[in-house]
Structure 1
Amino acid sequence: MHDMLAMSVTGDSGERLPLRAWRLAGRGDGPSVHLQAGLHADEIAGMHVLHTLLPRLREAHENGRLAGTVTVVPQANPLGLAQFRHGRLLGRFHDATSRNFNRHFHESIATERAPTTFAAWQQALFGLARGAQIVLDLHTDSDALPYLYMHRGFWPEGRDLAAALNAQVAILWDDDDGAFEGAIVAHGQRDPHAKLRLAATIELRGQSDVSDALAQRDADGLYRFLCARGVIDEPVARTQWDGEAVPMANMETIFAPVSGVLVYTCELGERVEQGAPIARIVARPGDPSSEVVLRAPQSGRVVTRNRDRLIAQGDVALKLTGSQPSAGWRGGALDP
């Protein structure tokens, strides 16, 4: 069967907001899977990918080829979807609490008092995923290469996911920062019956990279991965991965030292040498002395850039891979 689960959460004004999910019950002899997109509600690409993938999963189910049960949540964040302000969707932070939607999951799951709307939504989402053996959370960065976040314990077995999606970089983490993925991993480590095989955050390029062609490419990659992992009975050719695996501590995050017009002097995917100029900020247009040059702290590859070209002081301008721990690394998440 493939049923839409009738679920809702309470919005900040007391209204009921739908949390749409589809569950395709397979034969039971394959891994159970949870796929979700839009945890940050303004990250749209994954929504289109799962919209594109779902009919193919239904076809596999109807033809008796679905071995594992698959849950699909194409829009995981109804609270964020309700936050249209001044013509834009503000879906990264919760208006009522200023909390990042992809943080605080441990607190929400553990709370014993009456949950806030934020905590109740996180509990509902975690409840949909907690029984799955493979959990994939689809996000996008601002302007980026396709890349993955993955707990080090799933590597190098997780290379098959990176290869299927043609991810350029896999960022391996050790310490949880309260994100959804971290809560799933902690649950898998804590519960001996969980049998968690893989949890990963998939960054599908940048927020403007939404098209039928990209969605089809990514949906095809996810489908191949599910076949290779025994979720769907269909032979697929295994592909080699020639990307770069980087410990989280080695990632260099370059913050804007001043506000102003952001001008990049490097492209996504470009390899840069330590000390090389990678961008500049014109703090006071018209005043040549106000230009501030940003340089690579170590040699590496440009993974993400800020898609906004007027940047505020303290905002993330770029992220680069590195071959050694960053001098600025203090643990936790790369972004707030």
Structure 2
Amino acid sequence: MQRIDHPLLSPSLGSHKSVTSFHFGQPGTGQKIYIQASLHAEELPGMLVAHHLRAQLETAEAAGLLRGEVVLVPVANPIGLAQRLDHKPMGRFELDTSENFNRHYPDLATAVAPAVHGKLGPDGAANVKLVRQAMGDYLAQWEPDTELQSLRRTLLQLSHDADCMLDLHCDCEGVLHFYTEEPCWPQLAPLAHFLGAQAILLARNSGNRPIDECLSSAWWQLADQLKSQGIQLPLPQGCCSTTIELRGELDVTHALAQQDAQAILSWLQFSGVLACKQIPAVPAPCCAATPLAGSETLYARTPGVVVFAATPGQYLKTGELVAEVIDPIDNVTEHVWAGVDGVFYARIRDRYITAGGELGKIAGATPFRKGDLLGA
């Protein structure tokens, strides 16, 4: 194992932060898998999973079992991790800019298209290598102006040439659920099933460029550009990425983290990155994949105390009661009903809501939303 500390741009005199990456295996000997945790810094289940993964990967490397490279970043956001307000963690948005730490990554397809135009050939693997080199060159010449930009650049430099990228997050309260782009789903389906995902949400560009889609969308967008120009050259999906929501913010236990770490290790064995005596069988799916555009977000029309009638993981039918919002002053209760059939996969942790606030989400099977599909 190799540890590398990556200094970020200093935002103020005497202030310095860094991102630490752990590298297992040998580059170029097989697939590269990149795993990071807690980009939304208050989402800690993934950080504990990374802790257990590190121990397992150290053991596997010492035993000579690695057949590729694994890069692990247990703390992907030291900026957000240091942010607190009124004794509460504030790790989703940078306080200086109010920008979400997992939005606004660069459009890599647009950035590298001029560099690869006219250089791609009939060899798909060579084309992947060429595009990755162009991405690396683009990131090398990017000169960040802020600490936040330097964080984004650092994470992309570590991950841009990965075959698969796993971004470990969690919701406020919820069951384990799984986001990925449609072109990545065939390769990543086994991972979702090893993890026991209870909701799987697919999209083709969900909007606002989170880091996982920044990496994966570049490939299918470049391939689409070639087709639109009538160029018949192979360009495989060079990176398959996913955001894995490891239940809720309070689901930080060794038992769950060890379970999730083992699921990822089983997938690494299945994928040939870790050698094993017998390749593990992919578990039966816990759910069917559904379109992110079919996910219903439930909102409160009125302020009040929230009492949930539905629990995370419950399958709801249209018209079933999800929650009550109680106004104890005017003695009025708002009933919030399911608008679609599907798994109630996430809900808020607070039990007081203001008018227009988000209450929870149901994974519906029929797409009905358009535009940006992710929340703030």
TM-score for the superposition, normalised by structure 1:
0.92
1:305 and 2:347 matched: yes
Answer with 195-204 or 138-147: which moved more: 195-204
Question: In structure 1, how many angstroms separate the alpha carbons of the residues matched to 2:44 and 2:235?
Answer: 34
Asked if the contact 1:272/1:301 (under 8 Å) is kept, the reply is yes
Question: In structure 2, how many angstroms separate the alpha carbons of the residues matched to 1:61 and 1:114?
Answer: 35
Aligned to 1:198: 240
Q: Kindly state the Cα deviation for residue 169 of structure 1 after the two structures are TM-superposed.
A: 1.3
Q: Kindly state the Cα deviation for residue 193 of structure 1 after the two structures are TM-superposed.
A: 8.1
Q: Kindly state the Cα deviation for residue 3 of structure 1 after the two structures are TM-superposed.
A: 0.9
Q: From 172, 186, 210, give the equivalent of 2:217.
A: 186
Secondary structure at the aligned position of 1:156 is classed as helix
Q: Give 1:313-324 correspondences, 5 Å limit.
A: 313-324=355-366
Asked if the contact 2:9/2:146 (under 8 Å) is kept, the reply is no
Question: In structure 1, how many angstroms separate the alpha carbons of the residues matched to 2:144 and 2:259?
Answer: 43
Aligned to 1:333: 373
Q: Kindly state the Cα deviation for residue 144 of structure 1 after the two structures are TM-superposed.
A: 0.6
Aligned to 1:70: 70
Q: Kindly state the Cα deviation for residue 334 of structure 1 after the two structures are TM-superposed.
A: 2.9
Q: Kindly state the Cα deviation for residue 112 of structure 1 after the two structures are TM-superposed.
A: 5.9
Asked if the contact 1:175/1:331 (under 8 Å) is kept, the reply is no
Number of residue pairs the alignment of both structures matches: 331
Question: In structure 2, how many angstroms separate the alpha carbons of the residues matched to 1:65 and 1:47?
Answer: 24
Aligned to 1:8: 7
Aligned to 2:85: 85
Aligned to 2:298: 254
**Alignment identity in percent?**
31
Task: Name the amino acid aligned to 2:319.
Answer: G
1:154 and 2:161 matched: no
TM-score for the superposition, normalised by structure 2:
0.83
Question: In structure 2, how many angstroms separate the alpha carbons of the residues matched to 1:137 and 1:53?
Answer: 14
Q: Aligned pair in 2 of structure 1 residues 242, 113: CA closer, same or farther (>3 Å)?
A: closer
1:126 and 2:156 matched: yes
Aligned to 2:200: 170
Task: Name the amino acid aligned to 1:144.
Answer: G
Aligned to 1:287: 330
Question: In structure 1, how many angstroms separate the alpha carbons of the residues matched to 2:63 and 2:27?
Answer: 12
Q: Aligned pair in 2 of structure 1 residues 24, 114: CA closer, same or farther (>3 Å)?
A: closer
Asked if the contact 1:281/1:292 (under 8 Å) is kept, the reply is yes
Q: Kindly state the Cα deviation for residue 18 of structure 1 after the two structures are TM-superposed.
A: 1.9
Aligned to 1:211: 253
Structure 1 or 2, whichever has the larger Rg, is 2
Task: Name the amino acid aligned to 1:82.
Answer: A
Answer with 193-202 or 58-67: which moved more: 193-202
1:305-333 Cα deviation digits (max 9, x unpaired): 1111112223220100113223xx23223
Answer with 142-151 or 157-166: which moved more: 157-166
Secondary structure at the aligned position of 1:215 is classed as helix
Aligned to 1:94: 94
Question: In structure 1, how many angstroms separate the alpha carbons of the residues matched to 2:144 and 2:74?
Answer: 27
Q: Aligned pair in 2 of structure 1 residues 162, 141: CA closer, same or farther (>3 Å)?
A: same
Secondary structure at the aligned position of 1:105 is classed as coil
Q: Aligned pair in 2 of structure 1 residues 29, 107: CA closer, same or farther (>3 Å)?
A: closer
1:3-44 Cα deviation digits (max 9, x unpaired): 111212135435210211111133743211100001000100
Higher helix share: 2
Task: Name the amino acid aligned to 1:50.
Answer: A
Answer with 28-37 or 184-193: which moved more: 184-193
Q: Aligned pair in 2 of structure 1 residues 259, 107: CA closer, same or farther (>3 Å)?
A: farther
Secondary structure at the aligned position of 2:284 is classed as coil
Q: Give 1:20-99 correspondences, 5 Å limit.
A: 20-26=20-26, 28-99=28-99
Asked if the contact 2:173/2:346 (under 8 Å) is kept, the reply is yes
Aligned to 1:224: 266
Answer with 36-45 or 157-166: which moved more: 157-166
Instruction: Give 5+ residue unaligned stretches, structure 1.
Output: none
Aligned to 1:145: 175
Question: In structure 2, how many angstroms separate the alpha carbons of the residues matched to 1:79 and 1:12?
Answer: 10
Asked if the contact 1:26/1:61 (under 8 Å) is kept, the reply is no
Instruction: Give 5+ residue unaligned stretches, structure 2.
Output: 109-137, 224-233
Asked if the contact 2:41/2:80 (under 8 Å) is kept, the reply is yes
Aligned to 1:267: 311
1:166-187 Cα deviation digits (max 9, x unpaired): 1111100112421001111133
1:223-252 Cα deviation digits (max 9, x unpaired): 000110011101332122231211011110
